[in-house]
A and B are shown apart, each in its own frame.
Chain A
Amino acid sequence: MNIFNDIGTITALVLTLAVFSGFFKPNPLYRFAESLFIGVSAGYFAVIWYFSIIKPAYKSAVSGDILILIPLLAGLLLFIPSNSEAAYSKLRFLPAAFIVIVTTAINIPIYFSAFIQEMIRSSIIPLVSFDESGNILIDMTINAVLSIVCITSAIMFLVARHRNNNRFINTTGEIGRFFILVAIGSAFAYTLLSRLILFMGKIEFIMNAVKMGF
């Protein structure tokens, strides 16, 4: 018997049931569990950020790496009040601009390469797939053709549909709208499934705790 494991299991069980009690209506037990969760999360993140960012930066500064003071100064500049009339107040834009520029510079190649170039390439190449003995793989080929239809019609819907009266473009746009809705529906279904799996895990935990007498 491990007393720490037992206490941990009982605490987890009580808190899980407290959170589930919110299904019926908010009650003091639920509010306690909710506040505890928020408090513990805030504490956890504070510790993580401290040990991941502040402490290493402090150690670097102490050991003579004064370059670390530049991001520190940049961070402090962000705290200049936006309504300040002082001449130096414009300096607050410098770190903000730096963040925007660096993030954009990092993200543009990723987005262009991953979402435009490679995603389209991988969707339609090869257009016709063959197995090892040279026969056409019907499902893969249909998949590639369907991908072309999806991509083209979705782009048509998003870009060109509202700017003209061409019947072909409008019809294609409608097909694209259908595919976009299917994609959104699938994303929603996956999210629901994931939450269900999480819920199932908690139910299983309760069952195990009850079965094993904690």
Chain B
Amino acid sequence: MRNFFNNISTGIAKIPQWSLIFPILFLMLIHYFVIFDRNTTEARPELNAAATENEMQVFKMVNELPHNSKVLILVNYGPESKYELESAMSALIGVLAEKNIGIAFATMIPNGVESAFTAVEKSIENGSFGKERFVYGHEYTHLGFIVGGNIATYLIANNFDEVKERDIFDSSTDIHQPLMSEIGTISDFSAVFEFSSQTFDGVPGIVSFAVMQKDKNVKKIAFCSSDMLSAYIPFRGSLYLDGLIGGFKSIAVFIHEFQPSMNIERQYYIMSTILFYIIGLVIFSNLTALTRKNKK
């Protein structure tokens, strides 16, 4: 018996740790081709995640936004978080477009310039509204990259007139864009949303913005990627954030609520399965390291 365990232990010790990525890839492919295909055609997987109280609060806020109002969306993520945040943003755009709410996009990171346009395209592709119903300058606009990190948040909060002078295409917003002609200060927006995958000087952009902007009437809602969650959670119940959708689980719940056609259940299902494998891999990897140490 002892020899048997010794042999197993020697066998495990011989497996190089880097090679453990292959079982994961293999299982992932199997899941993709077998389980995912079966699920999409016949039994769609259930989203085994109920909305928390905090998420319900965000749903309520989004639902209560008045028709024909205006919102500002700060797009502070780039391609590195596209997979996670783009779906949520296009779901939100879909809801806003249905309610004829005007959207002004702005970004505080160079990588975020394209993100807004790709999310709009994705939202149009999803088909909840037609391209002809969502016209640049009328239904949405992009104010471009606002330089300066925290200083940019100061500008947006206090000198919005200066920020909104010209759009990303260098056109005067007052002359060419009916949407922006009604916006004078930040308080003219019904809500400010941030989609973020990074902080500025260690502070979430929306928190920095909220500190600078003293008007408590404008709702401030943050969407953040999984790795930014620890930076946002402390502010969840604070005066600075009226709502937080953070991490893949919350984002999946949000999309499930507002854009069911996006089929987020599939992604969430694969994600949770892979995470299960990863946990197994970490345990196994540590076991090999431990066995190797014992052999030495």
Contacts and interface: CB of A to CB of B under 8 A. Distances in A.
Interface of A: 23, 44-45, 48-49, 52-53, 56, 102-103, 106-107, 109-111, 113-115, 118-119, 121-123, 183, 186-187, 190-198, 200-201, 203-204, 207
Interface in B144-181: 144-145, 147, 150-151, 154, 166
A200 B238 contact: no
Contacts of B144: 52
A190 B229 contact: yes
Interface in B184-236: 197, 201, 203, 207-208, 211-212, 225-230, 234-236
B227 A201 contact: no
B80 interface: yes
Contacts of B29: 207
A115 B84 CA distance: 27
A183 B154 CA distance: 29
Nearest to A113: B211
Given A119-B238, A200-B270, A193 B275 contact: yes
Contacts, number: 114
A23 B230 contact: no
Contacts of A119: 234-235, 238
B102 to A, nearest CB: 24
Interface residues of B, number: 47
B230 A114 contact: no
- 7 nearest CB pairs, A to B: A201-B83, A194-B227, A122-B238, A191-B227, A194-B226, A48-B110, A187-B230
Contacts of B154: 106
A189 to B, nearest CB: 9
B114 to A, nearest CB: 9
A207 B32 contact: yes
A194 B81 contact: yes
A170 to B, nearest CB: 26
Interface in B69-109: 80-84
Interface in B14-36: 21, 28-29, 32-33
B21 A23 contact: yes
A190 B82 CA distance: 16
B235 A122 contact: yes
Nearest to B110: A48
Given A48-B145, A203-B32, A197 B226 contact: yes
Nearest to A198: B83
Given A110-B203, A197-B84, A200-B274, A186 B248 contact: no
Contacts of A103: 150-151, 201
A106 B151 contact: yes
19 contacts: A52-B145, A52-B147, A106-B151, A107-B201, A107-B203, A109-B211, A118-B238, A118-B239, A118-B240, A190-B226, A190-B227, A190-B229, A190-B230, A194-B197, A197-B226, A201-B82, A201-B83, A203-B28, A207-B29
